[in-house]
């Protein structure tokens, strides 16, 4: 696994932006793959609180993933291109593949992601600690989500992280968020966040499967990030945050913010919220990047767009100021 390197010239400059670029490239590399259409499986539909029910003739097959597809063009270059600071997007920055990002991309195990998704959606039995079960749903406050989070905690601990649990209490529901933090080796007080909600609506068995796309896909992708990031160092600290209560109005995320000081919130230099990356409804390979109108967010979206074009050229990024 590649690491942030120190040389006579100083710290590897790519490390400054590596975390977000790697996260962006890896996450979009999974777009449309996790719930890729499998003609041999029966039609199922997954509910989406944001967009209403989606009808998907889909369950993923392991063969849907082609690592070569991800790296086809990116791996042609061996250049150690320097990346510009993340808040100063340029037309050329990040267009030369960064070897460390390529190494991280190569470490992504899509079969592992699909296995996690099957476990999160009741397609496969899930064990965490001494407890095993089949998840029927991941409703906030329910036993299915509890088992899913226990599994995440176990996996994160096994990887060497020290996961933190933050219980929260809403007006009508209560649950917990889980987060891990990799301390940066250059600017540890500056943080980069990747956030995914683990809760979902819908139950199995029945015609509706429990939230495979929204947001089993984002949750397992972020867990996979934890795996491939485990042996890597970054300039800034990286925080992977798994929230609950999203479907009740982002209650868990709001609780997370509410208990942070102004200084702690200021330390967050970038954040990617990963939601519903598992299904490409019309098969157009378009990745939607919602960013709002806050200028740094616009620049971040442009950087992620560049990362997509550089590392996953088969996908077409579409920045969209919605969801601001
Ligand atoms: Zn969602």
> How crowded is the C-beta side of 1, counted as CA atoms within 13 Å?
13
Distance 20 CA to ligand 1 centre (A): 20
Residues 185/175, Cβ–Cβ less than 8 Å: no
Distance 167 CA to ligand 1 centre (A): 20
Residue 190 burial (10 A CB sphere; 0-12, 13-18, 19+)? middle
pLDDT surpassing 60 at residue 78: no
Strands 316-320 and 286-290: parallel
Residues 126/134, Cβ–Cβ less than 8 Å: yes
pLDDT surpassing 90 at residue 226: yes
pLDDT digits (tens, 9 = 90+) for 168-189: 999 999 999 999 999 999 999 9
What's residue 260's pLDDT? Answer: 94
Return phi, psi of residue 31, to 5°.
-60, 135
Give the pLDDT mean for 228-241: 93
Distance 55 CA to ligand 1 centre (A): 16
Distance 121 CA to ligand 1 centre (A): 15
Grade residue 243 by pLDDT with cuts at 50, 70 and 90: very high
Distance 51 CA to ligand 1 centre (A): 9
User: Taking CA 241 as the corner, what is the angle to CA 169 and CA 144, rounded to the nearest 5 degrees?
Assistant: 60
Distance 52 CA to ligand 1 centre (A): 11
Distance 31 CA to ligand 1 centre (A): 14
pLDDT surpassing 90 at residue 23: no
Distance 77 CA to ligand 1 centre (A): 36
* Mean per-residue pLDDT over the chain, rounded: 74
What's residue 13's pLDDT? Answer: 30
Distance 148 CA to ligand 1 centre (A): 16
pTM, full prediction:
0.76
Distance 219 CA to ligand 1 centre (A): 10
Beta-bridge partners for 268? 191
pLDDT digits (tens, 9 = 90+) for 259-306: 999 999 999 988 899 998 887 778 888 888 888 877 888 888 888 898
What's residue 204's pLDDT? Answer: 65
Give the pLDDT mean for 222-229: 96
Distance 273 CA to ligand 1 centre (A): 10
Distance 200 CA to ligand 1 centre (A): 7
What's residue 281's pLDDT? Answer: 76
Give the pLDDT mean for 28-35: 52
Q: Which residues contact 97 (CB under 8 A, 6 or more apart)?
A: 74, 75, 77, 79, 81, 310, 311
Structure-model confidence comparison of residues 59 and 250, the more confident one: 250
* Across 102-111, 203-212, 249-258, least confident range: 203-212
What's residue 22's pLDDT? Answer: 63
Distance 91 CA to ligand 1 centre (A): 32
Distance 199 CA to ligand 1 centre (A): 8
pLDDT surpassing 70 at residue 316: yes
Grade residue 9 by pLDDT with cuts at 50, 70 and 90: very low
What's residue 207's pLDDT? Answer: 56
**Domains of the chain, each with CATH number or no CATH:** 8-38+62-320 (3.40.630.10)
218-229 helix and 99-107 helix, angle to the nearest 10 degrees: 120
Q: Taking ligand 1, which is a single-atom ion, which protein residues have CB atoms under 5 Å away?
A: 214-215, 275
User: Taking CA 239 as the corner, what is the angle to CA 48 and CA 93, rounded to the nearest 5 degrees?
Assistant: 90
Structure-model confidence comparison of residues 214 and 11, the more confident one: 214
Give the pLDDT mean for 243-261: 95
Give dist(CA 121, CA 136) in Å, integer. 7
pLDDT surpassing 60 at residue 39: no
Map tokens 């579409």 to a residue: 318
What's residue 95's pLDDT? Answer: 72
Distance of CA 308 to the CA centre of its chain: 14
- DSSP type of residue 247: G
Distance 282 CA to ligand 1 centre (A): 19
Grade residue 206 by pLDDT with cuts at 50, 70 and 90: low
Burial 311-321, CB ≥16 within 10 A → b, else e: bbeebebebee
What's residue 294's pLDDT? Answer: 78
Tokens of residue 49, six digits: 């609180």
Map tokens 């609180």 to a residue: 49
pLDDT surpassing 80 at residue 11: no
């Amino acid at each position: 696994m590649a690491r942030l390197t120190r040389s006579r010239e100083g710290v590897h400059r790519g490390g400054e932006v590596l975390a977000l670029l790697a996260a962006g490239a890896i996450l979009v590399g999974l777009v449309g793959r996790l719930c890729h259409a499998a003609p041999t499986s029966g039609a199922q539909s997954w509910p989406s609180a944001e967009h209403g029910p989606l009808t998907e003739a889909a369950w993923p097959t392991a063969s849907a993933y082609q690592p070569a597809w991800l790296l086809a063009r990116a791996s042609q270059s061996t250049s150690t291109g320097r990346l510009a600071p993340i808040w100063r997007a340029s037309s050329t920055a990040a267009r030369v593949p960064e070897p460390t990002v390529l190494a991280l991309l190569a470490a992504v195990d899509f079969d592992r992601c699909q296995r996690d998704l099957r476990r999160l959606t009741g397609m496969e039995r899930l064990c965490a600690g001494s407890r095993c079960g089949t998840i029927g749903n991941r409703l906030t406050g329910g036993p299915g989500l509890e088992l899913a989070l226990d599994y995440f905690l176990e996996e994160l601990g096994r990887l060497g992280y020290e996961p933190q649990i933050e219980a929260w209490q809403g007006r009508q529901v209560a649950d917990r968020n889980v987060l891990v933090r990799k301390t940066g080796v250059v600017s540890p007080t500056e943080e980069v966040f990747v956030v995914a909600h683990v809760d979902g609506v819908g139950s199995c068995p029945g015609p509706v499967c429990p939230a495979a796309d929204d947001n089993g896909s984002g949750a397992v992708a972020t867990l996979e990030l934890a795996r491939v990031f485990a042996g890597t160092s970054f300039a800034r600290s990286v925080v992977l945050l798994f929230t609950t209560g999203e479907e009740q109005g982002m209650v868990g995320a709001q609780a997370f913010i509410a208990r942070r000081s102004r200084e702690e919130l200021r330390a967050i230099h970038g954040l990617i919220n990963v939601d519903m990356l598992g299904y490409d409804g019309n098969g157009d390979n378009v990745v939607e990047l919602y960013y709002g109108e806050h200028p740094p967010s616009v620049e971040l979206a442009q950087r992620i767009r560049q990362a997509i074009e550089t590392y996953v050229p088969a996908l077409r990024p579409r920045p969209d100021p919605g969801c601001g």
